[in-house]
Structure 1
Amino acid sequence: MKRKMKIHLDYLHLNGFIADTIDNFATQGHIIQNHRNEIKIFEYQKNKFVVKSFKKITIANRIIYKFLRKSKARRSYENALRLLDLKIGTPFPVAYVEESSGLFLKNSYFISCFVEHETTDKHLIESSDVPFLEAMGAFLFNLHKKEVFHYDLHTSNILTTKDSKGKIDFCLVDINRLKFKKPTKQRRVKNLNRLSLPFDQYSILISKYAEMAEFDVFSFAHKQLYQRKKYQIFRQIKSLFKDLYKKSGNCNK
């Protein structure tokens, strides 16, 4: 199997550690997520690194990612560098690794520095404080202002960190599906639809967003909530058809 490794200049000294980590990914490391993809923490010389293995690559995508489109690991690495250039928080990208066999991409991995954090969904379960939601609204406005749209935007992909003075900052993860586009009002609305928040929390967030964007708060909030409801109905129908498809597949076995 052929392996391609792209390592950030600041971390070239970790070449051996990265190779060993990929070789032993299946048996070593501490698992923090194992759903659609598998994410583990590895330690080296008192430093922690997050390694994400992208799984479930379809046969078509194995060819597409090999020749026509960048792999998810490579996109994660390059998007992280671009976010940092834009002064948007994200864990520092250390490397990406692609393994291929013949015409097919077999595996891909993204390695980043570990950041002490809490996810926003956990914070909002424990506390619904208005200043936090307004700060989050301001963060999302800043993303869009800088032409960054996260197409897997939900609260578990927005981390919260604290600086030395205790100030809360926000940090994006799971960034292989970023798009860099002009922030039209329609794009803003559609992107914010992806956030699953209770009505009261969502209202506070989008009101702050509208204020910073200098939109009419009532008009924007009304449109946003209407589009959000449509999006939720779409997701429910999509989920229903998926369940029916799985059940019909089981019945045919």
Structure 2
Amino acid sequence: MEEKKFEVNGKYDEEILINILKNFDKAGEYVVEPGRNEIKRFEINFENNLEKVSKKRKKHNKIDDFKKKKMINIKKFKQKDFITNFFYKFKGSKAKRSYEYAKKLLKYKIKTPEPIAYFDEFVNEDNKKNSYYISEELKYDFTCREVFWPEDIEEEKAKQGENYKINEEMERMLSKVEKNREKIIKQFAKFSFNLHENGVEFEDYSPGNVLIKDKSGNYDFYLVDLNRMKFNVKLNLNRRMKNVSRMMENEKIARIFANEYAKCYKQREEIVFRYLRYYIRKHKRYVYFKDITRPVRNVFKRKK
């Protein structure tokens, strides 16, 4: 029996999505510029399968509730070599895993942009095969990067000097984050604790992969880039802090996080912080090693 190569959320029209994928390279607007993968946004006429909706349901809803335009994001995964594709047959492609993991997260009431579809080995008009993951476009306020890495902004200011400029919207956002940083970190600690308590280990738990919506001082956290996750995992404190250690580097910020996480975990703050600090420092050494060896590794890549 041949493995199924796509799945579409029942609320969406399969034909509309297929037509968009056929023209992916020629249409849409880049969210992430071409690199290892590509992400583009498209506008679709979202029809909640109006023809399948019962007459009773139609009667109690306005037509505008069913017909509206919607922005979606489509992630096109880079084509893999033969060996990688062979292993994907056992664990599923990145596109398929992203879709299935998103559905699992939502069952746990862990937020992520709505999964719409995945397509594996989809042949476009140029007769090239690619895998795609389609989700709703989420209007978020900022990411964990702005919360946990304020030093990046300061470094950028110092580097550009008098030439440093940001638009008013960005300035308002950064000002709001600065004012509420501690509150956001504490709520994120509770979110992380809930994630771990549900047995979810997000292997790409990093600042850019957590989007944040400000709900009048209460913050909703959304996970993205989902293809590397484990479920039903028993996570001890050591593994929990290792999992979250890539999220931050500043030890003052780590202390705030550890304090709140310790309250949820019912453990002494010093113990939680000790584990977290150990893995933060270990990751810093790893990043430093990669940075100093990059020129050598690039030489070998070119030779290949």
TM-score interval for Structure 1 and Structure 2 normalised by the shorter chain? 0.7 to 0.9
Report what 1:121 is aligned to. Answer: 145
Report what 2:212 is aligned to. Answer: 160
Deviations 1:20-74 (A, max 9, x none): 1111111111101133211111101220111111115233112222x32200000
User: Which has the higher mean CA deviation after the structures are superposed, 222-231 or 212-221?
Assistant: 222-231
Say if 1:222 and 1:6 are closer, same or farther in 2 by CA, change over 3 A.
same
Report what 2:284 is aligned to. Answer: 232
**Is the contact between residue 254 and residue 276 of structure 2 (CA under 8 Å) also seen in structure 1?**
no
The answer as to 2:243 corresponding to 1:191 is: yes
Report what 1:172 is aligned to. Answer: 223
Question: Aligned partners of 1:158 and 1:94: how far apart in 2?
Answer: 19
Question: Aligned partners of 2:112 and 2:21: how far apart in 1?
Answer: 22
Question: Aligned partners of 2:249 and 2:22: how far apart in 1?
Answer: 40
Report what 2:94 is aligned to. Answer: 72
Write out aligned runs for 1:200-219 (5 A).
Answer: 200-219=252-271
Say if 1:182 and 1:162 are closer, same or farther in 2 by CA, change over 3 A.
same
The structure 1 residue matched to 2:118, chosen from 96, 116, 119, is 96
Give the root-mean-square deviation of aligned CA atoms: 2.3
Say if 1:40 and 1:178 are closer, same or farther in 2 by CA, change over 3 A.
same
Gaps of 5+ in 2: 46-68, 151-173
Report what 1:19 is aligned to. Answer: 18
Give the counterpart letter for 1:175 in structure 2: L
Q: Among all aligned residue pairs of Structure 1 and Structure 2, give the percentage whose two residues are the same amino acid.
A: 30
Q: 1:187: how far off?
A: 1.3
**Is the contact between residue 238 and residue 275 of structure 2 (CA under 8 Å) also seen in structure 1?**
no
Question: Aligned partners of 2:119 and 2:96: how far apart in 1?
Answer: 8
When Rg is computed on C-alpha atoms for both structures, the one with the higher figure is 2
Q: When the two structures are superposed, what TM-score results if normalisation uses the length of structure 1?
A: 0.88
Report what 2:5 is aligned to. Answer: 4
Give 3-state SS (helix, strand or coil) of 2:11's partner. helix
User: Which has the higher mean CA deviation after the structures are superposed, 30-39 or 122-131?
Assistant: 122-131
Report what 2:86 is aligned to. Answer: 63
Q: When the two structures are superposed, what TM-score results if normalisation uses the length of structure 2?
A: 0.74
**Is the contact between residue 36 and residue 56 of structure 1 (CA under 8 Å) also seen in structure 2?**
no
Write out aligned runs for 1:27-38 (5 A).
Answer: 27-34=26-33, 35-38=35-38
The structure 1 residue matched to 2:76, chosen from 50, 53, 62, is 53
Deviations 1:76-129 (A, max 9, x none): 00001000000000011110001168xxx9421000111111222235542342
Give 3-state SS (helix, strand or coil) of 2:212's partner. strand
User: Which has the higher mean CA deviation after the structures are superposed, 139-148 or 235-244?
Assistant: 235-244
Question: Aligned partners of 2:287 and 2:79: how far apart in 1?
Answer: 22
Say if 1:152 and 1:146 are closer, same or farther in 2 by CA, change over 3 A.
same
Question: Aligned partners of 2:279 and 2:145: how far apart in 1?
Answer: 22
Aligned length: 244
Give 3-state SS (helix, strand or coil) of 2:5's partner. strand
